[in-house]
Structure 1
Amino acid sequence: MGFEQPPHLRVADDLRRRITAGEWALGDKLPSRAQLAEHYGVGTNVLQKAQERLIIEGLLEGRAGSGTFVRKPRERRRMVRSRHREQRGGSPFGADLTELGHTGTWESHSQARTPAPDHIARRLGIAPGDLCVRTSYEFLADNQPVQASVSWEPMAITGETPIVLPEMGPMAGKGVVERMRSIGITIDTVVEVPRPSRATQAQANVLGISLGDLVLVIERTYYDSEGRAVETADIVVPDVRWEVAYECGVSGS
């Protein structure tokens, strides 16, 4: 007996074909769920599952109270990761957006005395359970979410200093390099490991994207001049909004 494709996948395949063929233009509203279900001879629950699959793929978007639409491509900016980002003062993210002609802001929430989970402890070179400040960030461009991150800093380094909470104190709003410099720590190395992934529901909620959308997760760790890790973060970049480029200096001969 041959394999029979589930009804919602069969419907999704045909809707995908029709969208790709241009039956509906970008931004067009699709017929109602009831109309499409009748056309395909399936229940509205099957049609909903088919549309949800195409929403995850980025072909459709649902608008509360309005219906389902063919998704328009969104503006995609280039994010340049380089050592120069840390030499412009203030927040590297804010400087990035200023160069692109956008207003960059962010919201953050810190939790002090948070025990380091095993994978974070390995990255920071500390013992699992050692206390850290965990800070979650939501970065915005023109008031729209474009990037998110979760940062960890060992309290053994910052706990007795004015910069223990990144969003408070005399260095509030500054980047990690500047904040650490203010307490006599010189950061001279950053290591970034980019990995493609799919958005979790929590990430999708923060970034205003769909569950399963392609994202780039950048594992970033800052090291001081003695090789000690002083901060590590997971930065989540939605692929639909950003392409990431790495700039590397080339020394003369």
Structure 2
Amino acid sequence: MANRYQHIADELRRLITAGTWLVGDRLPSEPELAARYRVSTPTLRNALEVLQSEGLVEKRHGSGNFVRRPGQRVTYAVDRRAERRGIVSTAVDVRLETALVEADSRLSSLLRVKAGAALAEYVFVSHLGTSPRSVARVYVPHAVARLGLPEDVSDPWGGNVRDLLTTAGVRVVTMTEQITARFPTASEAQTLHITMRTPVLVIQRTATDADARVVEGALVVLPGDRTEILLTTGSDIEEMEAAG
């Protein structure tokens, strides 16, 4: 037998599909819906989380729950042949915030620096309309370079920070990216307007110089329900022809 929250999710889904609430409309408040269905607020939130994980509803912290346009996805077309990263096929608005932080245990491991080392943090958050699509945190140790602000912040994955490194005379020789899937942290879920039951894709990126020193580290988090990544690579034949 289905749980009570599943029945409520079915009813709310039916109302959305029927057009009772249109895309962009705010749903009644959680206390109102809980009273309407005679359930506790936690039960009602479980029902809303089902719809959030399906991409039908988006929770905007401090504003409420809104009907989201289904099938709204962002495609990141990454062309490795051109050594480009995070090229976006769908136009998004990217906003940047910066801060001076100290390396915690996680960043110490990522950047191969001592805990407490001074880092420049660049936080790129991209939006499609009012919907957040990615958050990228890029770190550069002060021991590597003291950088300013990038003139161009159009790359939602923070690739523009590497332009600053190049200008500062730091040459990136190797870049490694590791992609994993997991559930978001509470902070990530709040930033991306998703439930903690919605899987995210995480790209961990490190860039090293000729001395194998990590000169940049990044953590890019993308909601799994609205993200596509298209990778383009050259064949061995193409590479041999280019070398010849």
TM-score by length of 2: 0.72
SS at the partner of 2:225?
A: coil
The offset of 1:24, in angstroms, is 6.0
Instruction: Give the equivalent residue in structure 2 for 1:240.
Output: 225
Instruction: Give the equivalent residue in structure 2 for 1:203.
Output: 188
Aligned residue pair count: 223
Out of 107, 112, 117, which is 2:96 matched to? 107
Change (3 A) 1:220 1:62: closer
Does residue 1:154 correspond to 2:151, yes or no?
no
Aligned residues: CA RMSD: 3.6
Contact 1:105 1:141 in 2 (8 A): no
Cα distance per residue 1:26-79 (max 9 Å; x no partner): 754499734433xxxxx3446424424424533652778x99777642311221
Structure 2, gaps ≥5 residues long = 22-26, 154-158
Change (3 A) 1:49 1:78: closer
The offset of 1:146, in angstroms, is 1.5
SS at the partner of 1:25?
A: helix
SS at the partner of 1:157?
A: coil
Q: Distance in 2 between matches of 1:67 and 1:206?
A: 14
Which letter maps to 1:10?
Answer: N
SS at the partner of 1:75?
A: coil
Change (3 A) 1:47 1:229: closer
Contact 2:80 2:231 in 1 (8 A): no
Out of 215, 218, 224, which is 2:209 matched to? 224
Which letter maps to 1:11?
Answer: R
TM-score by length of 1: 0.70
Q: Distance in 2 between matches of 1:223 and 1:123?
A: 11
Which letter maps to 1:25?
Answer: T
The offset of 1:108, in angstroms, is 1.9
Change (3 A) 1:220 1:209: same
Change (3 A) 1:27 1:251: farther
The offset of 1:85, in angstroms, is 6.3
**Alignment identity in percent?**
20
Higher-Rg member (1/2):
1
